Amino acid sequence: MTEIIDLILALSQDIKDLKARIELLRQSRAEVLKDTWIDNQDVLQTLHISKRTLQTLRTNGTLPYSKVKGKFYYRVADIEQLLQDNYYNHNFKQDGNK
């Protein structure tokens, strides 16, 4: 009986270790993606916006970009920053208090 309990405890610890490793991999992958560049089509699909809206974001300087041979590229980190800067939670006032 104690062998079964020991086995269950060992399995439980292994599961905890695996969960910790998965979380580390997920976090490191998110950090890598922040330095990734994506093109117009990916931005349009991600933000669910039109080509014209994306052009406006470029023109007014809201979304930084790079242009290589007529093709536009955007950093994922810049898109995340744009979303974060425009985040609105209607449950809180501007000062952060309810």
* 43 and 77 inside one domain: yes
Per-residue pLDDT of 1-13, as tens digits, reads: 788 888 888 999 9
72 DSSP β-pair partners:
67
User: If we measure between CA atoms, which residue out of 39, 50, 36 comes closest to residue 80?
Assistant: 36
- pTM, full prediction: 0.60
E-strand ranges in the chain read 37-39, 66-68, 71-75
**Could you tell me if 39 and 83 lie in one domain?**
yes
Whether residues 40 and 79 fall in one domain: yes
Note whether residue 92 is domain-resident: no
Q: Are residues 16 and 44 in the same domain?
A: no
| pLDDT, tens digit (0-9, with 9 covering 90-100), for 53-88 | 999 999 999 999 999 999 999 999 999 999 999 888
Does 97 map to a domain?
A: no
**29 pLDDT band (50/70/90 cuts)?**
low
Parent domain of 45: 35-87
Number of domains in the chain: 2
Tell me how far the alpha carbon of residue 20 is from its chain's centroid: 20
Q: Is residue 4 part of a domain?
A: yes
Dihedral sign from CA coordinates of 71, 76, 77, 83: positive
